[in-house]
Amino acid sequence: MSRTCAILGLLSVASAQEGALEWKRGGTKPIKVNIYYEADCPYCKNFVAGEFAPFLTEDCVQSQTDFTWIPFGNAQVSGDTVSCQHGDDECFGNRLHLCAMEKYGNPSDELDKWIGCVMTNLMIPGKNSRDRDTYAPCNDGDADALTQCADNPRSLDALKAAGQETLAAAPQQVPWVVLEESSTYNLQTMTVSSICATMQEKNLGNPQCCIEASQAQMGRRLLV
């Protein structure tokens, strides 16, 4: 079985409507990474919980990197309807994430932590995006507002807009983790080391986590 979810189908163009969610904003950090994903995809959950969330526990590359999240993945748009690869629960999850993006900013450190928390909780067998205990603990004071937003038609319009961005990026699979200036190369499994290399190219320093990532990658090569 492939470890990634194949991108399926074509998307219809969804026009922006007044009052749409402001789910994406420009960042200010020198390195920009776009992450195309979907809420219930097992490979996306594995990436976030296993590769992305762990380095949030310390200031690794975050101070120099804006992570912009685009939750749509393999969904398909037909008129006013969006069908998600993993069913209605995933559509709710994608819409919930879009609401969090408006709430916390996208990109933002707060959003990175929220998504890391939610996707880690979804790793528990049988857990669904609509299960309140997967997202409420990540910022309990916002759970009611995020739920109401995800069930509001505005978040459906935002999901269609995320679909347009996904179609324009033409990812070959999800998760699709790319540097903005190199959008055809997936950083999955090498996210930290790839960002560290970009930091060095831009003379942005070489933090301890980058040294450790380089040593780990060298060790893996020696084992091959």
Q: What torsion do the CA atoms of 148, 153, 156, 158 make, to the nearest 10 degrees?
A: -90
The per-residue pLDDT for 5 is 55
**CB 84, CB 38: distance < 8 Å:** yes
Q: Burial level of 143, CB count in 10 A (0-12/13-18/19+)?
A: middle
162: helix, strand or coil: helix
The per-residue pLDDT for 212 is 87
The per-residue pLDDT for 219 is 59
- pTM recorded for the entire structure: 0.89
Q: Burial level of 33, CB count in 10 A (0-12/13-18/19+)?
A: buried
- pLDDT by 10-residue block (mean), the chain, 224 residues: 46 45 94 98 98 88 96 96 98 98 97 98 98 96 97 97 97 97 94 94 93 74 48
Q: What residue ranges do the domains of the chain occupy?
A: 5-12+28-188
The per-residue pLDDT for 129 is 98
DSSP 7: P
How long a stretch of residues is the chain?
Answer: 224
The per-residue pLDDT for 7 is 47
The per-residue pLDDT for 58 is 82
The per-residue pLDDT for 175 is 98
The per-residue pLDDT for 202 is 96
Whole-angstrom Cα distance, residue 179 to residue 161?
Answer: 21
**5-12+28-188: CATH superfamily:** Glutaredoxin (3.40.30.10)
Burial 91-117, CB ≥16 within 10 A → b, else e: bbbbbbbbbbbbbbbbbbeebbbbbbb
The per-residue pLDDT for 9 is 39
The per-residue pLDDT for 4 is 53
The per-residue pLDDT for 59 is 82
